[in-house]
Structure 1
């Protein structure tokens, strides 16, 4: 079976790296949508080298390995990468114009990040996910969250968002043709909060918030530039090389699609970008209601929840460590959606004072049942740190697992 890949940026190239190593697909067809460099030799040069993960052959086989790209052919637009033929298309950028049928491609992974609205028709002027199916594909996976321009429209029945290891089975091969693999941040966050929901239940989690300290991405500027016409965010056009940049994340919205229990929990998500090429961190803060009697929730209990979830998880997507890490330590960690650093877990318990007389809807008869109309409820605030390689280790590997699982049902 062949796999189509639309886009050859960070996620697109690393997707090729993963699949030439995995060898599930017999051939990869990559749509560039434009001429690149002076010849296909320049595409091979780009494919073989990476500023974050090093050379492809050393990534695959270690530092004594030899280059694995052979048979580079301009006429056919192809090369052989570690035994897998990779063919490059350079004619069309609009998905509906890509002739996947001619290439015998039934499954496409769109890594461009540009086509994220599952409601757009195939002939949408700016291009659309459904255009891939117009071109002959049966199913499309996108390496980004869905972004629907019209907020009043419901999610189409044939579209679904999944995070591997969290709601994997929400994908129904009989129904779904468009699948979002969420984002790297949502993937990590889902694996961090799911064990807590499984243990405590959503009602005991009063509220939660997270901040991601996120590596730079290709959407940012190397040097300061004027903002585009009509742009409101005046930080995105500032240099990524020497700034900590406040930004936004849609992880909270996407998380509700992946873990429905989050609808019951007040949740806020924030993000900052820092000048590293990969390796990001989520700081998750959870407020837990204590039992009115009994021992408070301890740090050891929280870490034990994660240790058990990591040990018993069927796919090994959640990792736990007591070691002290920095961001470079987790780059390339295989199939690690989230790496909980238990050394930094901490918690504090305090009492929240509630004046029953100020609770709306509680009448005098109800108040008379209480001897003391001022009650104190113990609440524990827990802070958990989770690392993730926002490119290969924590995202592309999950995307590839989703891709293979869908292909197996086709």
Structure 2
């Protein structure tokens, strides 16, 4: 296993580390963030969404102590760490800000061999590859792909649905809507924000928002004709995306659901996609590590070609689980 560092220890960075440690995927060589060490350790230890970490968590000077693991902590408020001096092979940037090539390149300039971005890059030119587990990970080229994006939680949820529908039934065009938990980009109380709609309290409003998932999907399927939007709602985590599309050939509800059941049980989407055969609400999928959980009772078909599919996803834990796996996989190819 290569030397992996985490840059940005917010919601996704902390969840990714927990997923990596729980499944023994990797232990980072270093964690870098701009917050103070003691408070950062405290919010890792006790999480409002996922509860208390099962191991002892404490700090010493410049280090986290997590279940006996000593993980150096770097204050990156002033500058990006010297990754080269630490022998870092892979930096997982979880700040949400490395969406341009310049933002990601700084890690390479500071000595890292590769960067994995926990966000969608702005354009095709801002990364070397968009790699999604279960979708196109086999296209990873260690020599050419130095800046890798794993897109967004919604993109990962949608991509699994698109893959099945595209391969089994064909897609003419479609429209998706994601009903998404609120995030740190929103405000707790009413106040003017850059995005006008975000100016109202996140926990008190349904807030329309844009989604970059459609653009990110085109990194993988350039000819895909799908667009969509998002609604942020007052839940702390747990989201659902509905994809409405026109298929190339006529289908039935039974055929569509059978395709998802098969994809979830075998092949590249096993462990990434899951299905629900009973009626549930969002609490059912909080803490679920699957990227895309098909709600089979919600599948609908009209006139043979008009299909509606709904997929749940824990927008934090599911995405962070894939990120941890991808980091481990990219890291294993460094040596």
CA distance in 2, matches of 1:168, 1:102: 29
CA distance in 1, matches of 2:84, 2:109: 9
Question: Which blocks of at least 5 consecutive residues in structure 2 are unaligned?
Answer: none
Tell me if structure 2 keeps the 8 A contact 1:2–1:106: yes
Displacement after TM superposition at 1:26 (Å): 4.4
Question: In terms of mean alpha carbon deviation, does 276-285 or 42-51 score higher?
Answer: 42-51
CA shift digits 1:340-399 (9 cap, x unpaired): 0111111111xxxxxxxxxxxxxxxxxxxxxxxxxxxxx52111110001001x200111
Alignment counterpart, residue 278 of structure 1, candidates 237, 245, 264: 237
Is 1:328 equivalent to 2:290 in the alignment? Answer: no
Distance change in 2, residues 1:184/1:190 (3 Å):
same
DSSP-derived class of the 2:164 partner: helix
CA distance in 2, matches of 1:327, 1:7: 27
User: Alpha carbon RMSD of aligned pairs, Å?
Assistant: 1.8
CA shift digits 1:112-149 (9 cap, x unpaired): 0112112x2xxxxxxx211111111100000000014x
Distance change in 2, residues 1:275/1:145 (3 Å):
same
Displacement after TM superposition at 1:210 (Å): 0.5
Displacement after TM superposition at 1:259 (Å): 2.7
Distance change in 2, residues 1:91/1:288 (3 Å):
closer
Is 1:81 equivalent to 2:66 in the alignment? Answer: yes
Tell me if structure 2 keeps the 8 A contact 1:94–1:131: no
Partner of 1:404: 328
Alignment counterpart, residue 151 of structure 2, candidates 159, 162, 182: 182
Kindly indicate whether structure 1 or structure 2 has the higher relative contact order, using CA contacts under 8 Å at least 6 residues apart: 2
CA distance in 1, matches of 2:275, 2:139: 26
Tell me if structure 1 keeps the 8 A contact 2:20–2:325: no
Alignment counterpart, residue 56 of structure 1, candidates 15, 36, 53: 53
CA distance in 2, matches of 1:93, 1:184: 29
* TM-score for the superposition, normalised by structure 2: 0.94
DSSP-derived class of the 1:132 partner: helix
Partner of 2:21: 20
Bigger Rg over Cα: 1
Partner of 1:147: 122
Alignment counterpart, residue 245 of structure 1, candidates 201, 207, 211: 207
Alignment counterpart, residue 302 of structure 2, candidates 332, 340, 348: 348
* TM-score for the superposition, normalised by structure 1: 0.77
Displacement after TM superposition at 1:89 (Å): 0.7
DSSP-derived class of the 2:294 partner: strand
Tell me if structure 1 keeps the 8 A contact 2:8–2:33: yes
Displacement after TM superposition at 1:22 (Å): 3.0
Partner of 1:60: none
Tell me if structure 2 keeps the 8 A contact 1:162–1:180: yes
Displacement after TM superposition at 1:325 (Å): 1.4
CA shift digits 1:258-285 (9 cap, x unpaired): 234xx1x432211100011110001111
Tell me if structure 2 keeps the 8 A contact 1:27–1:84: no
CA distance in 2, matches of 1:93, 1:173: 31
Query: What are the equivalent positions in structure 2 for 1:7-406 lying under 5 Å apart?
Result: 7-33=8-34, 35-36=35-36, 40-57=37-54, 67-70=55-58, 72-74=59-61, 77-95=62-80, 98-118=81-101, 120=102, 128-148=103-123, 155=125, 159-201=128-170, 205-227=171-193, 231=194, 233-260=195-222, 263=223, 265-290=224-249, 297-314=251-268, 315-334=270-289, 336-349=290-303, 380-392=305-317, 394-406=318-330
DSSP-derived class of the 2:92 partner: strand
Question: Which blocks of at least 5 consecutive residues in structure 1 are unaligned?
Answer: 58-66, 121-127, 149-153, 291-295, 350-378
CA distance in 2, matches of 1:308, 1:199: 11
CA distance in 2, matches of 1:102, 1:23: 25
Displacement after TM superposition at 1:91 (Å): 4.1
